[in-house]
Amino acid sequence: MAKPFKKNLLHRIVNPLMMLALRFGLAPSRSRILVTRGRRTGKQYETPINLVERDGQRYLVSPYGTEGWARNARAAGQVGLRRRGQDEDVTIAGVAPEEAAPVLKQYLGENPITKPYFDHDASQPESAFVAEAPGHPVFRIVDSRPRA
């Protein structure tokens, strides 16, 4: 079983640096600031994420399990994406394990730092990731609108 996520010193240092890099457009092109609203508080939360682009679709992946942002996103059905002052409102839909599996495999291949939080590695077949999917929510972006 993959280890549960617990924010450590590395995350406390890297996440703010990644947020700063994203604000100035210095992060990898697939990186974004994900903006969600708290389900109960309505408070706005921001977290750095890496999108997965596959077969003409874009996906959000929660590599560390069912994090707060994933619960908030599922409840709202929409999130914001930001990169260097360009804001985008997107509508999202959770995907079934069969659709999530190849996305998770690709995500892990592109982001090997998350390996400890997965039971499988990117060299294994997509079928291995079907069982992994319930522990790592995947959302397909179904609609996108630039924010004015």
Could you report the per-residue pLDDT of 25-69, keeping only the tens digit for each? 888 889 999 999 999 899 999 989 999 999 999 999 999 888 889
With contact defined as beta carbons under 8 Å apart, do 88 and 79 qualify?
A: no
Over residues 117-143, mean pLDDT: 94
Over residues 11-21, mean pLDDT: 76
| pLDDT for position 11 | 67
Q: Is the entire prediction scored with pTM above 0.85?
A: yes
- Nearest CA to 141 among 20, 4, 30? 30
How is domain 9-146 classified at the CATH fold level? Pnp Oxidase; Chain A (2.30.110)
Q: Which two tokens stand for residue 39?
A: 């389900």
In the chain, where the domains are located: 9-146
